[in-house]
Amino acid sequence: MLDEQRTGLVDYQMLIGGEWVEAADGSKMKSENPYKGTDWASVPDGAEADVDAAVAAARSALNGEWGALSARDRGKLMRRLGDLIAERAEHLASVESTDNGKLYKEMLAQAKYLPEWLYYFAGAADKIGGDVIPSERPNFHIYTRHEPIGVVGAITPWNSPILLLGFKLAPALAAGCTLVVKPSEHTPVSTLEFAKLFEEAGFPPGVFNVVTGGPAAGAALSSHPGINKIGFTGSDATGRKVLQAGAENFTRVTLELGGKSPNIVFDDADLEAAANGVIAGVFGATGQTCMAGSRLLVQKSVKEELLQRVAKRARTIVMGDPMSAETEMGPMATRPQFEKVMGMLARARDAGAEIVTGGDASPNHDGFFIQPTIVDASENTDLEVVRDEVFGPVLSVLTFETEEEAIEIANDTRFGLAAGIWTQSGQRGTRVAHKVRAGTVWINAYRVVAPNVPFGGFGHSGIGRENGFDAIRAYTETKSVWTELTGATRDPFSIG
């Protein structure tokens, strides 16, 4: 636990080329504990010069000791890193909970699961093989290689910093890349604590670099000509800026962006299970997850019964200290996000939305607490809270009568990250899953991920996929090699 750190300001440095350093201009910024609403840590406020130094260090490692390692030896280092994460999971979770206000038990579960990403991709590192391609020309032997794409810039969010870093880190290391990480300015500390494990695990200096800072650091990383690939998790608005910045240098990108994911409940569903899934899908993590099931689509014949179950449970959710085992929902992770969600709820009320429960800040807590909120939008489907990602504990309720209508409503969004389907008919569940435009669909479940299962979205929910073996290919370039076998003199003006 970090009781001693909660009582005073803890000072951190950032990691560049294996050295812990301050920002080039000496600037610092503070990180706020959202439960207490007070500053608890100080970190460097990096900018362009620091990104330049980190990219140079990453390039040096790529062309040096790290680049010379065999894939098997990279895998060994990754497994050692996974072991260290498992050993320090409680500490990492405590730091993360202090920094972003999410439940310690949730952060601990994530920290304990994170090593599986390192183990899975470590096992894949020496299995990134190319192909021998049959040639129509008998005098050529043709094969492909998958080579590291180069230096990767990873820009990570404030809701689950080190787990979502792992989605990028593990396949990038397996592919042989080096990284420069820019964590959210709101939650930089757990990434800095995580960075301490790399030297202990035996990684060469410069393989993993962390530049803390605000938007200036993120913009410098996105537009840096020395970055070969950007992996970004965040909003679609910021993702668009990252994409535009990278386009100037033809930087490859993977974007895991927002969602407005539907939980679709049919009249034959187990309503108790569905209610639990809806609650976990939107109020778990205080709604601060890209895959939040923030739209409940319920068949009209069971709307009242299901809504009664969900509202009753929402009113009993225990809010409080994220470090307490009894707490079920913590505060919003940042002051700006708290203000954003409160503004959206105020505008929903002004538009005549029916607030079933919640709808305001919690009167019983300091910090950035918002009541679990349910908005019945069945008569007003154009509300902002229905159309846009809230990223808070707000559930919008919509109704449908037929399967076709449910699919139409589910797909009526610019997003397409995830969806849940609740039915006791396996045929219906599969049929609807195939027609809903979403990168991940759960049937009678919600919010489950694994390192070997691809994750990403359609539309404004992003570009590319993280996780799964194919994610490694996103961190490689494919090279085709033609070897002429006969040595015969060829016409220099012919092809083939």
Among all residues, which ones are annotated catalytic? 256, 290
Q: What is the total residue count of the chain?
A: 496
The CB-side HSE value for 157 (13 A sphere, CA atoms) comes to 22
Residue 453 CB neighbours (<10 A)? 12
Q: How far separated are the first and last CA of the chain, in Å rounded?
A: 66
Rounded CA gap, 251 and 249, in Å? 5
Alpha helices in 134-257 (DSSP H): 161-175, 189-201, 215-222, 236-247
Rounded CA gap, 354 and 311, in Å? 13
Contact 226, 55 (CB under 8 A): yes
Rounded CA gap, 143 and 50, in Å? 40
Q: Which helix (H) or strand (E) holds 335?
A: helix 335-350
Dihedral over Cα of 418, 172, 210, 219: its sign: negative
Task: Give the strand order in the sheet containing 38-44.
Answer: 10-11, 38-44, 28-33
> What DSSP string runs through 290-345?
TT---EEEEEGGGHHHHHHHHHHHHTT--BS-TTSTT-SB---SSHHHHHHHHHHH
Contact 219, 245 (CB under 8 A): yes
Q: Is 304 exposed, middle or buried (0-12, 13-18, 19+ CB in 10 A)?
A: exposed
Residue closest to 123 by CA, chosen among 452, 448, 449, 453: 452
Contact 209, 179 (CB under 8 A): yes
**Strand-pair partners of 441:** 419
Residue 214 CB neighbours (<10 A)? 16
